[in-house]
Structure 1
């Protein structure tokens, strides 16, 4: 199929080209600037060039997001613009990359992702909402950001199941070729870990001597992570563990 990837320059978007092409698809990567081989311009925040970018697309992998900016403008309103611009007569599958727990974790960005899911479910398009867990390298980023000299504070009791971004990319390519699910499916890493376990493993490899301190985090957000809201309830699993990622 002719596949358009939104968020083509993002952490996942960059990794999607190879497995999609290996599956026999023609791939175009959409971003605001449209840079690089196979790059096309399209701006979800304004709608500029969207119709042109989507022209001819038989499948769309919607991986664009703006967690550090205004997700309601890009993730929600941008998804509405995408729905309006897509060629309904030609589109066979739209795969939206979401996050496990968006329906259960009281966090603004997650609420926006969940709202975007509802836009797609109401669109009448052939969709699959693929919720994945946190990427291994994103966990690295969070832990590095949290470290304060020799001290690495982490939320006490938080439970997560991180996944390798390369395995997510391969799974997305597989899902694209399947019939649309019409709802939510999940994909996660192979093992459940506490935030403290992740931090100790990371510190042993990346910051020897750092002291991990598990700290209680009150409120609804902390309670949700402690209660397992970020853990998958079903779906397929990757194989690469966080420890394997650290030692690669």
Structure 2
């Protein structure tokens, strides 16, 4: 069985490729730039233009669609929505039997532009000719870590203390994707989150402890519908099963220990 993996060079792609190989899949991986690999076939594809798509889908049984271009305005629409449509059409023309699309928990509840694009892409997948599955995952701990670094550039950590998050390890999402791929089309949406729901202020305290930092949290309430959605749990899910690796585990591995366990 051969699977095409879009966005294979990204954070999630890098961990999903070896798991697919371990499960016996022959992997064809896409990138916007030429790459080589000993264990997978790399092809150049640009979803924003469709370049390379026809050749990429030829002879594959399934597609794992990870590619995305977050928060880049027109390019996000070109890649995430129009590019997904191009991929779905091309896959349908060659008889691909299963397309798994990776999305984000909260795209239907949190009104930010990037999430609107992801939701539109989900709808493209569901309306297309290829049997499908959508897996919505919660935030990766690396994303939360990067966000906290950005929010503390001026000294204090700026943020809405009541926002809720549910970090999930990319490796666990990769494992879930491989299982979903093997299970066949769901013709529906599955959500997958981390083992715990954290308030932003609790995540900051643990982050500070792990980094041995005393940066204070400067509360900044996110206004409007977006703020209400984030504080009311728009980014979290009650779906089970969940991942097992916690925010404290990520902090310990990244910074060498934390008293927040």
Please, what TM-score do these two structures have when normalized by structure 2? 0.91
Partner of 2:191: 186
Contact 1:99/1:133 (8 A) holds in 2: yes
* 1:1-248 → structure 2 map (5 Å cutoff): 1-37=1-37, 38-69=41-72, 70-88=75-93, 90-206=95-211, 208-248=213-253
Change over 3 Å in CA distance of 1:84–1:207 after alignment to 2: farther
SS in 2 for 1:237: coil
SS in 2 for 1:12: helix
Partners of 2:223 and 2:161 lie apart in 1 by 10
Gaps of 5+ in 2: 254-261
- With 219-228 and 79-88 compared, the bigger mean Cα shift is at 79-88
Contact 2:57/2:94 (8 A) holds in 1: no
Aligned CA RMSD, in angstroms, stands at 1.3
- With 229-238 and 100-109 compared, the bigger mean Cα shift is at 229-238
- With 17-26 and 198-207 compared, the bigger mean Cα shift is at 198-207
Partners of 1:161 and 1:73 lie apart in 2 by 29
Partners of 2:80 and 2:212 lie apart in 1 by 35
Deviation at 1:87, TM superposition (A): 4.8
Deviation at 1:88, TM superposition (A): 4.7
Please, what TM-score do these two structures have when normalized by structure 1? 0.96
Contact 1:29/1:39 (8 A) holds in 2: yes
Kindly tell me the number of residue pairs found equivalent between the two proteins. Answer: 248
